[in-house]
Amino acid sequence: MIILAVETSCDDTGIAILEIREKLSSPFKILSNVVSSQVKLHKKYGGVYPSLAKREHQKNLPLVLEKALKEAKNPKLDLLAVTIGPGLEPCLWTGINFAIDLAKKMNLPLVPVNHVEAHILVNFINGPWMKTHDRRFLSREIFPAVCLVVSGGHTQLILMKSIGNYKILGETRDDAAGECLDKTARILGLEYPGGPAIAEQARQWKSKFLISNFQTNSKSQITKIKLPRPMIYTKDYDFSFSGLKTAVLYEFKKRSPKIRGSKKYIREMCFEVQQAVIDVLIKKTMKAAKNYKAKSIIIGGGVAANKELRKQFAEKIRKEIPYSKFYIPDSEYCTDNGLMAAIAAYYRRKGKTKNWKKIRANANLKIGEYL
């Protein structure tokens, strides 16, 4: 079976073509996965403008399709898929209209894809998932799983009992973790998207200042800037990151222009804000994993591309719940792409339809909902 999937939920235009070879030991073969990023355009504004993003998707989709088909050597397609939500409504509609046109032309059924579920299911491309996609194997080895989806638009902890069976344990009450990093970057005068820019500054601070502090056994504080870890000790599984961004703003405003313009200050602030986000995400995920006796922890979304987060999560799980497995996609599959939609469509293929009118964008679609 060959699936072509379209993803336009935010500012990346993605189309992937995935071959599924049911009887082989590595069932998924990526024929192409083309992503056209709009980062350069949105950089100027420090964030994503939905109407601008929509126009770019309209422009990019035919080009991305042509490239994806060419790379895959124009295979015979069996199924189409498109992300219907959650995401930015004008962007979602652009992808949906494009996919419906294509489906009509090719007379192929279309699978509606939930973007948050796709961030989780993209993990199925790697590791033990490749051995088999037999549902019994997955159930025995993987479920129940605690999933953390953490991106620019979402921060959710989800209990996954099987594919399609989800319960949202908690979510952000205001900003998503990635949104907090993007806004912090803007305050500090760093580029959009903020996550990778902050990660780079934090890395430089760590290698220059933190290591030299340790080497000289200096008694000076590791970071002088102290930011809050919002809701880290609350009993629920909710998050709140808007206060963290405000704390960054107050800390920043309190400093003289000379200090806040210095590389050292910016890097230290990046290190601290990144660590604050990581501390909260790890603490809550570990709590859920222990409470629900999770056989695995599955992570996805753009922020999961963060190297420190990946490292610290792996260490914590190894130390505290070594019996749990840890799944996190390769960094390139953490940020939005068509492949995640193609994999999700494979597992949700029963939802395919030729009733085009049923396929509608839903900016607030919850995990487990499809139409």
Binding residues for ligand KG4 (CB under 6 A): 10, 151-153, 178, 181-182, 193-196, 199, 301-303, 305-306, 335-336
Task: Determine which residue in the list 33, 38, 151, 274 makes contact with Zn ion, applying CB under 5 A.
Answer: 151
CA triplet 229, 231, 232: central angle to 5 degrees? 60
CA triplet 159, 119, 233: central angle to 5 degrees? 45
10/138 with CB nearer ligand KG4: 10
Q: Is the peptide bond between 144 and the residue preceding it cis, with omega within 30 degrees of 0?
A: yes
Tell the smallest beta-carbon distance from residue 77 to ligand KG4 (Å).
25
Tell the smallest beta-carbon distance from residue 303 to ligand KG4 (Å).
4
49/356 with CB nearer Zn ion: 49
Q: How many CB atoms are located within 10 Å of the residue 350 CB?
A: 8
32/335 with CB nearer ligand KG4: 335
Count of all residues that appear for the chain in the document? 371
The DSSP bridge pattern shows strands 145-150 and 296-300 to be parallel
- For 279-312, letters b (16+ CB in 10 Å) and e give ebbbebbbbbbeebebbbbbbbbbbbbbebbbeb
149/288 with CB nearer ligand KG4: 149
Q: If binding is defined by CB under 5 A, does position 8 make contact with Zn ion?
A: no
56/336 with CB nearer ligand KG4: 336
Q: If binding is defined by CB under 5 A, does position 179 make contact with Zn ion?
A: no
Tell the smallest beta-carbon distance from residue 95 to Zn ion (Å).
13
| Residue 79 touches which of ligand KG4, Zn ion, none (Cβ within 5-8 Å per kind) | none
Q: If binding is defined by CB under 5 A, does position 155 make contact with Zn ion?
A: no
Tell the smallest beta-carbon distance from residue 113 to Zn ion (Å).
12
Tell the smallest beta-carbon distance from residue 301 to Zn ion (Å).
6
- Is 107 within 8 Å of 55 (Cβ atoms)? no
- Is 32 within 8 Å of 139 (Cβ atoms)? no
| Residue 14 touches which of ligand KG4, Zn ion, none (Cβ within 5-8 Å per kind) | none
248/309 with CB nearer Zn ion: 309
Tokens representing 39 are 């980062």
Contact region for Zn ion (CB under 5 A) — 49-57, 146-154, 268-276, 362-370?
Answer: 146-154
Angle of helix 307-320 relative to helix 263-291, nearest 10 degrees, comes to: 40
CB under 8 Å to 240, separation ≥6 — which residues?
A: 172, 173, 174, 175, 230, 231
| Residue 194 touches which of ligand KG4, Zn ion, none (Cβ within 5-8 Å per kind) | ligand KG4
Tell the smallest beta-carbon distance from residue 196 to ligand KG4 (Å).
4
Q: How many helices (H) and strands (E) does the chain have?
A: 13, 10
Tokens representing 208 are 């220059």
Angle of helix 307-320 relative to helix 194-205, nearest 10 degrees, comes to: 70
- Is 68 within 8 Å of 338 (Cβ atoms)? yes
Task: Determine which residue in the list 60, 94, 336, 339 makes contact with Zn ion, applying CB under 5 A.
Answer: 336
Tell the smallest beta-carbon distance from residue 25 to ligand KG4 (Å).
30
Report the interface residues with Zn ion, using CB under 5 A.
151, 336
